[in-house]
Amino acid sequence: MFMEKMKDLKVTWNMTRYEVDEVEGIPLTKKMCDRWNETWAFQAKPDDLLIATYAKAGTTWTQEIVDMIQNDGDLEKCKRASTFERHPFIEWVLHEHTPTGVEQAEAMPSPRTLKTHLPVQLVPPSFWEKNCKIIYVARNAKDNLVSYYHFHRMNQIMPEPGTWEEFFEKYLTGKVLWGSWYDHVKGWWEAKDHYRILYLFYEDIKENPRREIQKVLQFLEKDLEKEVLDKIIHYTQFDIMKENPMANYTTLPPEILDHSISPFMRKGIVGDWKNHFTVAQNERFDADYKQKMAGTSLTFRMEL
Ligand code: A3P
């Protein structure tokens, strides 16, 4: 596997922050753009499940919920490997010595669960052709922005975030990896009416994990005993996942993720934006949000 391979090769992580390029106007790392043809040509299989999100919307949380469901609540099975090894991140290209997301997926037996942050128009066409099930999770823009900012600080290979004020502007203008949050959530919202997409919200899972996990169960056509569901709810809570090395990204070296700057499992709450936004930023954000989200039936809760 991935990490073992790095150890075997005795590769040193002499990595620097990624350069950014674009695919059809969407900023992606240059490494991802260089391998884009392979990502676009990826061959999905009918029994693939895709977990799609804008970055920092609760991907890892959803991955853990799905993995626990698929393994009937067997915690040991879910601890078989780190999140990023259990579920290939299809467009991701980390390092020249590690397999790409596509290569990881190709090496994996079916049924596969895959991850993407791609906006809907960049999803490899085979996912639509094979009518794969997709779980999309969206998080309110303000908390998503705060989480993305701290992630850029701790992730030593993401582009430089700049100051909070600078990152705030980049996010509003979509000049961040995977592009505009606004276009992402709206694009997937439209797609859900045409494909097998379960569209969930971070805030809803936080508010009532039992209700939302039941939606996932129904979507995956799984039936679990109440005790198993209780166990899944317990082990996918923020405080428990934060201590789980197979789910909290601490298996990656500090040259990539420096948890001393900001932990990957940072706060896991709704409304942390209030600790970051100034009054002026909030006004500017709200005015801009109103324009960008005009005409969609999609609504978010910024607090619970
Ligand atoms: P914060 O930075 O706001 O704490 P992703 O997995 O898409 O990168 O998203 C990471 C965000 O989801 C982080 O948000 C992280 O703390 C939060 N998260 C991860 N597991 C969670 C859980 N079990 N419950 C609530 N939030 C969780």
257, pLDDT greater than 70: yes
Lookup: tokens for 58: 């609760």
pLDDT tens across 114-165, in order? Answer: 999 999 999 999 999 999 999 999 999 999 999 999 999 999 999 999 999 9
CA of 33 to the centre of ligand 1 (A): 27
Q: What domains can be seen in the chain, in order of their start residue? A: 2-290 (3.40.50.300)
Q: Is the CB of 58 under 6 A from ligand 1?
A: yes
Q: What is the pLDDT of residues 178-194, one digit of tens each?
A: 999 999 999 999 999 99
In which band, very low, low, confident or very high, does the pLDDT at 15 lie, cut at 50, 70 and 90? confident
Compute, in angstroms, the gap from residue 269 CA to the centroid of ligand 1. 8
Mean of pLDDT values over 49-67: 99
Cα of 10 vs centre of ligand 1, distance in Å, is 31
* C-alpha torsion sign, points 134, 140, 142, 144: negative
Q: Which sequence positions are flagged as catalytic?
A: 117
Q: Residue 29 — very low, low, confident or very high, per pLDDT cuts 50/70/90? A: very high
| CB of 116 closer than 6 angstroms to any ligand 1 atom | no
Q: What is the pLDDT of residue 210?
A: 98
Q: Report pLDDT for 87.
A: 98
156 lines ligand 1 (CB under 6 A): no
| pTM for the full predicted model | 0.97
